[in-house]
Chains A and B, each alone.
Chain A
Amino acid sequence: MIVRIKYSKTAAGRFLSHLDLLRTFERIFRRAGLPLAFSEGFNPHPKISYGSALAVGVTSDGEYLDVEFTEELPLTDMMKRLKEVSPPGLEVLELRSLDTRGKSLTAVINMARYCVRVPLRQALSQSRLDEVISRVISEPELIIDRERKTGKTEIDIKKGIYALEGCIQEGMLVLEMDVQTGSEGNVRPEEILELIRKFGNIDMEESLRIHRQGLYIRDNPLVRSPW
């Protein structure tokens, strides 16, 4: 039986790396006493596949994984067990049984929705912010530097920005954005924040909170959830 799980990574778990997450979920399933299916070979691995990896420090309300079990089990019992044995940082939200093993989550998920919050060091009006955002969006290309193991590379993230809105709440700049994620390309929310800061010459604090609201399958102009 293949089960798709929607889970959240809360503030308590935000410093988990993707590798920490893989280790932790295997242990959750083992503690729940669920019959994991394993790959063949000398070094068997549980058959768990994940959606897009979440960066260290980022929280999320909409992460997905697919896991295979060797037996059919009622989802309500499974949900109860998983909740009992999850650590503080991870919360299983929903379960759904998949009829067949379709395309992998990483193959279909290609869009992420983020909310970024950062305290401002200066006053900023909504109209000024809107103006900065529209200037950013209307640029023909948006070149940013990315650190790679091989050194710095320049890439254009313009095509990977699908939506961008902002507002000011209690001295905080709040940006909501839909951006590309997955094997075709990836836009990081910090990169967009940096563009806003640079274009508008806006003075802001270094501490920021990034929250992923969800992962989606975007087939322009349609956007649907992998659920």
Chain B
Amino acid sequence: MVDVCQIIENEILPKVTKPLRYVGNEYNVIKKDWTSVKLRSLFAFPDIYEVGMSHLGLRILYHLVNEQPEYLMERVFAPWPDMEEALRKRNIPLFGLESYHPMCEYDCIGFTLQYEMSYTNILNMLDIGQIPLKSADRGDDFPLVIAGGPCASNPEPLADYIDLFVLGEGEEVILEIFRSMAAHRGKRGGRQDKPALIQELASIEGIYVPAFYEPVYDERNRLKKIVPKEKAVTPRVSKRVLRDFDKAYFPTEPIVPYMEVIHDRIMLEVQRGCSRGCRFCQAGMIYRPVRERSPEVLLEQADRLAFETGYNEISLTSLSTSDYSCVEPLIKELLERYSKQKIGISLPSLRVDSFSVNLAAEIQRVRKTGLTFAPEAGTQRLRDVINKGVTEENLIEVASVAFEAGWNQIKLYFMMGLPTETMEDLDGIADLAYKVLRKGSEIQKRQGRSKQLKITVSVASFVPKAHTPFQWEAQDTRELLRTKQQYLKDKIRDRRIVYNYHESEVSFLEAVFAKGGRELGQVLHAAWQRGCKFDGWSEHFLYTAWIQAFADVGIDPAAIANQAGSFEDVLPWEHIDFGISKEYLWQERQRAYEAAKTGDCRFGACSACGVCQGLDVETVLILEGEKLNDC
């Protein structure tokens, strides 16, 4: 051990980029005695340190587990290729940052699945950690490999590699898993009998063991059904949900990195879930119902966090923070408490209405960064299709308020390739951008300001996702997406408007892995063997290698991404229950085609999505009905 530490610290780290990614002695880090705990776990984030350390789920689970005296949790991130090379050259396995133990020596490794394009990194990390990739090849001496997070809502592409998936909110279930594992080992003198252990864990609600379910295909190779095998405890596995968000664990002494990470600030989670019901949005479906945290609890957490971390910014995080019923009084109180210490308050996402932009104006005294809004589609018709309750008037109004308040930069997020989209909808994107620009010039002229205006139009390609009303949709072909991207490019000809779009190749693969099933496991392996990793990083993305990998195993990716389905189709995640009923999703899809809007159950009638009844939970609002909002 000492030798390896010396080699890492003296020979490897001085020569790699950003060595702090691998050091792991940050403030508030928890280093426990390896031998005196009952269970040693490793939180594995399949991207670099700066991305992983910005992830709230890691903060929550790391500190929750480490607060239990009998368990330890350490961290590992995907090593950048220079580090990987240095480790492989010396045959040093990838290690946990806290104790430098090789990955293969932990009892349990948990990967978080935030993004489909990080899957090759999971394989690569296991390999550098000297752990067999496939679940079936890992005997009793290897760690149990588990995974959770939003992409576990379609776990099938990773079924070959992961022993068990955790569906839903991890902090609700992780200690149950660990108690069960520790008890199992306790009875066997610290060793595990893996098949028995997995069978025991499968009885915990929210645990999905892919090996206990078998996809059956028809003669045309289409999924016919998913058959629970003998060992399966239940035909469908339901997600776990926190019921009382005020009582839920939240760390107040999080690790404070030395190096700059993406979200380098206090994250105060004001609520979980969103019920706006945008039909493309997976987060808006799988994190239901909305559960708010009370301002008293939040203020206490903020006090502790400010004192314990020394950060100079507090971000109010959630899927749509301006929907939090107490957002105004909360911000007012935070400003009062912290302005003297120069601790800023920030909102990560702004709803397109004057209420939100006024909030932003109140808290953001420096107008440097610009404001971001997401109308998502260019015409009213298409915004109704996706159930994004934003009107052109809303957008022009928020832009006016922002320009009046002194902002010069506005970012607009759109999607391209949405169901029913026509070229007119693309014209609409350009029109909106020009209208916002004209409004800005008008206001600047009136105010006698001359600072250069900048409107950024970012257009992502639509990716159909599991458990959304658009889960049956086809993605536009790459050719069509490219044509549309070019079409819009030609429409935007003002140098004050910056037009960004994503590479259609990446969106295409995202769709394949978002919609595809267990057959993709072998593609993943072939792609990894061909050198694919860090696929979400454009400098590492190898599209040709991916296409060769599909050819290697004889799977047509276009048949997955670019074909629409019907209600009768068996979806690869048919046995995975996030509480939203298939009937509701189909009905929402029908309503999309009628451009019919569906209201938010926080402010009106229940839309019968199935979550509250199916999972026996309910929406929790702090100020119910006092802030009615119809958009």
A residues 12-67 touching B (CB-CB < 8 Å): 12-13, 15-17, 19-20, 23-24, 26-31, 33, 36, 38, 42-44, 46, 56-57
How long is the Cα–Cα vector from A164 to B307 in the complex, in angstroms? 46
Contact of B447 with A by CB under 8 A: no
Q: Are A15 and B27 in contact (CB under 8 A)?
A: no
Interface residue A89 (Cβ < 8 Å from any Cβ of B):
yes
Q: List B contacts of A85 (CB < 8 A).
A: 27, 310
Sorting the interface of chain A by its residue count into under 10, 10 to 19, 20 to 34 or 35 or more gives: 20 to 34
Q: Is the beta-carbon distance between B310 and A29 smaller than 8 angstroms? A: yes
Q: A42-B366, A57-B14 are in contact. Are A31 and B312 (CB under 8 A)?
A: no
Complex CA distance for A100 and B259, rounded to whole angstroms: 33
Residues of A within 8 A of B309 (CB): 27, 31
In the bound complex, residues from chain B placing their C-beta under 8 Å from that of A74 are: none
Stretch at the interface among B17-25, B119-127, B319-327: B17-25
B interface footprint on A60-90 (CB within 8 Å = 1, 0 otherwise): 0000000000000000000000000101110
Partner of A30 from the list B9, B23, B25, B312 (CB cut-off 8 Å) is B312
A13-B258, A15-B13 known; A20-B20 Cβ under 8 A: yes
Q: Does A138 interact with chain B (Cβ within 8 Å)?
A: no
Q: Which residues of B contact A44 (CB under 8 A)?
A: 342
Would B258 and A89 count as touching, CB distance under 8 A? yes
- Bound together, the chains give a CA A85 to CA B306 distance in angstroms of 13
Per the bound structure, the CA–CA distance linking A11 and B9 in Å amounts to 9
B311 at the interface (CB under 8 A from A): yes
Q: Flag whether B260 is at the interface (Cβ < 8 A).
A: yes
Alpha-carbon distance between A46 and B26 when the two chains are bound, in angstroms: 22
Closest beta carbon of chain A to B471's beta carbon, Å: 43
| Assembly CA distance A115 to B586 (angstroms) | 71
Q: How far is the CA of A27 from the CA of B488 in the complex (A)?
A: 46
Q: Which residue of B lies closest to A23 (CB)?
A: B260
B10 at the interface (CB under 8 A from A): yes
Q: In whole angstroms, what is the CA distance A15 to B341 when docked?
A: 29
Point out the residue from A11, A19, A29 that lies within 8 Å of B260, measured CB to CB: A19
Interfacial chain A residues near B365, Cβ < 8 Å? 42
CA distance in complex: A44, B20 (Å): 28
Say whether B258 contacts A24, CB under 8 Å. Answer: yes
| B308 interface hit (Cβ, 8 Å) | yes
Q: Is the CB of A16 within 8 A of B258?
A: yes
Inter-chain CA distance A31–B307, complex, in Å, is 5
A13 to B264, CA, bound (A): 19
Q: Looking at chain A's contact residues, is the secondary structure mostly helix, strand, loop, or mixed?
A: mixed
The reply to whether the CB of B11 lies closer than 8 angstroms to some CB of chain A is: yes
| Chain B residues near A125 (CB-CB < 8 A) | none
**When the two chains form their complex, are residues A43 and B307 in contact, meaning their CB atoms are under 8 A apart?**
no
Closest CB in chain B relative to A39 CB, distance in Å: 10
Shortest CB-to-CB span from B4 to chain A, Å, is: 15
- Among A12, A20, A30, A209, point to the contact of B310 (Cβ < 8 A): A30
- Decide if B147 is an interface residue (CB 8 Å cutoff): no
CB distance from B411 to the nearest CB of A (A): 20
Q: Say if the beta carbon of B268 comes within 8 Å of chain A.
A: no
The reply on B286 being an interface residue by CB < 8 A is: no
Q: Please pick, from A27, A38, A56, the residue contacting B256 in the complex, using a CB distance under 8 A.
A: A27
How far apart are B575's CB and chain A's nearest CB, in angstroms? 47
Give, as a whole number of angstroms, the nearest-CB distance from B83 to chain A. Answer: 13
A76 to chain B, nearest CB (A): 21
Task: Report Cα–Cα, A36/B259, bound state, in Å.
Answer: 22
Docked complex Cα distance between A201 and B114 (Å): 53
Give Cα distance in the complex from A85 to B311, angstroms: 13
CB closest chain-B residue, reference A12: B25
- Considering the chains assembled together, what is the distance between the CA atoms of A16 and B13 in angstroms? 12
Task: Give a binary string over B22-45; 1 marks a CB under 8 Å from any A CB, 0 the rest.
Answer: 010111000000000000000000
Query: CB-CB < 8 A to B25: which residues of A?
Result: 12, 87-89
Known: A57-B14, A207-B11. A30 touches B341 (CB 8 A): yes
Within B295-311, the residues touching A (CB, 8 Å) are 306-311
Residues of B within 8 A of A16 (CB): 20, 258-259
**Docked-complex contact A26 and B20, CB < 8 angstroms:** no
Report the separation of the CA atoms of residues A19 and B20 in the bound assembly, to the nearest whole angstrom. Answer: 13
With A28-B310, A85-B310, A87-B258 as contacts: A43 and B366 at CB distance below 8 Å: yes
Q: Which residue on chain B has the smallest CB distance to residue A19?
A: B260
The contact string, 1 if C-beta is below 8 Å from chain B, for chain A 79-112, is 0000001011100000000000000000000000
What residues of chain B lie closer than 8 Å to A42, measured between beta carbons?
Answer: 365-366
**Contact pick for B26, options A11, A33, A36, A87, CB 8 Å:** A87
Chain A nearest CB, measured from B251 CB (Å)? 16
Bound form: Cα–Cα A23–B312 in Å: 10
**Contacting residues, chain A, for B10 (C-beta < 8 A):** 207, 209
Residue of B nearest to A205 (CB): B11
**B311 contact set on A, CB distance < 8 A:** 27, 30
Q: Across the two chains, which residue of chain B brings its CB closest to A20?
A: B258
The answer to whether B19 touches A15, judged by C-beta atoms less than 8 angstroms apart, is yes
Q: How far is the CA of A57 from the CA of B9 in the complex (A)?
A: 10
Q: Which residues of B contact A31 (CB under 8 A)?
A: 307-310
Once the chains bind, are B310 and A38 in contact (CB under 8 Å)? no
Which residues from 149 to 187 on chain B have a C-beta closer than 8 Å to any C-beta of chain A?
none
- Chain B residues with CB under 8 Å of A29's CB are 310
Chain B residues with CB under 8 A of A207: 10-11, 14
Task: Across the interface, name the chain A residue whose C-beta is closest to B256.
Answer: A27
A209's nearest neighbour on chain B, judged by CB, is B10
Chain A residues contacting B307 (CB-CB under 8 Å) are 31, 33
Contact (Cβ within 8 A) B342 A38 = yes
A46 surroundings in chain B (CB, below 8 A): 342
Check if B259 sits within 8 Å of A20, measured CB to CB.
yes
When chains A and B are docked, how far (Å) is the Cα of A114 from the Cα of B27? 28
In the bound complex, CA of A57 to CA of B15 (Å): 10
Cα distance A12–B20 in the bound complex, in angstroms: 10
Chain A neighbourhood of B308, CB < 8 A: 31
Among B269-318, those with CB < 8 Å from A are 306-312
Task: Scan A179-199; emit 1 where CB is below 8 A from any B CB, else 0.
Answer: 000000000000000000000
Closest chain A residue to B341, Cβ basis:
A30
Minimal beta-carbon separation of A208 from chain B (angstroms): 8
Residues of A within 8 A of B264 (CB): 23
- A67 CB to nearest B CB, Å: 14
Q: How far is the CB of A183 from chain B (nearest CB, A)?
A: 26
Q: In the assembled complex, which residues on chain B have CB atoms less than 8 Å from the CB atom of A36?
A: 341-342
User: How many whole Å from B554's CB to the nearest CB in chain A?
Assistant: 47
A221 to B309, CA, bound (A): 46
Complex Cα–Cα for A215 and B508 (A): 57
Question: Which residues from A are CB-within-8-Å of B260?
Answer: 19-20, 23
Interface centre among A11, A16, A23 (most CB of B within 10 A): A23
**Quick check: B310 and A15 within 8 Å, CB to CB?**
no
Measured CA separation A12–B9 after assembly (Å): 10
A89 vs B13: C-alpha distance in the bound complex, in angstroms? 15
| Complex Cα–Cα for A85 and B309 (A) | 9
Name the B residues within 8 Å of A89 (CB-CB).
25, 258
List 8 other contacts, CB 8 Å, given A17-B259, A27-B309.
A19-B260, A23-B258, A30-B311, A31-B310, A87-B26, A87-B27, A87-B258, A207-B10
Residues in A lying within 8 Å of B, measured CB to CB: 11-13, 15-17, 19-20, 23-24, 26-31, 33, 36, 38, 42-44, 46, 56-57, 85, 87-89, 207, 209
Q: Enumerate the 6 nearest inter-chain pairs by beta-carbon distance, A residue then B residue, closest first.
A: A27-B310, A30-B310, A87-B27, A31-B310, A15-B19, A88-B25
Write 22 A-B pairs (CB below 8 A) sorted by A numbering. A12-B23, A15-B19, A15-B20, A16-B259, A19-B260, A20-B259, A23-B260, A26-B310, A26-B312, A27-B27, A27-B310, A31-B307, A31-B310, A36-B341, A43-B366, A43-B368, A46-B342, A57-B14, A57-B19, A85-B310, A87-B25, A207-B14
